[in-house]
Homo-oligomer: A and B are copies of this chain.
């Protein structure tokens, strides 16, 4: 039985959509999944009743403090220990749940995971965000999707190692093709830090296929795209923007390709983004998540925990440091 804790007050449409998403998730995975809602107990009880849920796969942990989107991450941890956000991580620290999710203040979620779960490796100052993005072919792992800035080359190499584990464990890719996002395919292209990372990646045992450009990223030419958190965030938001534009102009096109596109490119189907390099499974969901997005985030979080990505990333990074 996998147990996932979620910040019931996190996100633009909380708590309603969190509860609806949790109900859908446990109903689709009876006997395999439990969800722990963390937030103000009486409110959540009422909402759960409103949603008509009668089963015993959802429980509530009282966490009355509410975190605002603009609160400073470390202050949240200090001043709001009884918030849904901090509580869902604290439960994991105590071994009571296998994964923790928030669609709220993502900086505070990162800080809470970092401080409470701790680093599995000292290689990352901040845990990079891994996200399974849509492409013209299959999903590709994007790392870092927006946690870090101004990374050194060695940090990009560690993103590559962690992203490769994610692609293997979560997406089931054998020997995933790892690429650096760059402004040309040649070895000597791009910022100095990317060129340095290229040289370092050549000397690892990863299946490093070199540089891909933005076009190759969309075409699905790599299984893992390694880039700075800055560029990764631009990429992620552009993918969302393109899907939105497409839907606003054309809606879901009534063909097998149209349905596949709408399914894969809808950010709500992506599930949550995983923080890598922690002793545990911390998941960030989209702030504007609806019930379907929350359901997917819960399902992906349980799979992240089940496939032991956190442990595997820690091990693999340690192996690389030793070798």
Interface residues of A (CB under 8 A from B): 136, 146, 149-150, 181-184, 190-192, 194, 213-219, 228-231, 233-242, 244-246, 248-250, 253, 255, 257-258, 261
Contact = CB atoms under 8 A, between A and B. Distances in A.
Given A183-B234, A214-B234, A250-B250, 14 more contacts: A149-B192, A181-B234, A183-B233, A191-B228, A214-B238, A214-B239, A215-B238, A215-B244, A216-B237, A217-B241, A234-B234, A235-B238, A249-B261, A250-B255
Nearest to A193: B150
A234, A236, A239, A240 pick with most chain B CB within 10 angstroms: A234
Nearest to A233: B183
Contacts of A146: 183
B249 A236 contact: no
Identical subunits present: 2
Contacts of A228: 191
A266 to B, nearest CB: 14
Contacts of A217: 234, 237-238, 241
Q: Which 8 A-B pairs have the closest CB atoms?
A: A214-B237, A218-B241, A214-B238, A183-B233, A215-B241, A215-B237, A214-B234, A249-B257
Contacts of A255: 250
Contacts of A182: 230
Given A181-B234, A191-B149, A191-B150, A240 B214 contact: yes
A214 B227 CA distance: 15
A244 B218 contact: yes
Contacts of A240: 214-215
A181 to B, nearest CB: 6
Contacts of A190: 149, 230
14 contacts: A136-B245, A184-B233, A191-B228, A214-B235, A214-B240, A215-B237, A215-B240, A216-B237, A217-B238, A218-B238, A218-B242, A219-B244, A242-B242, A249-B257
Contacts of A194: 230
A241 B216 CA distance: 7
A244 B236 CA distance: 18
B249 A250 contact: no
B257 A236 contact: no
Contacts of A246: 246
A183 B230 contact: yes
A37 to B, nearest CB: 28
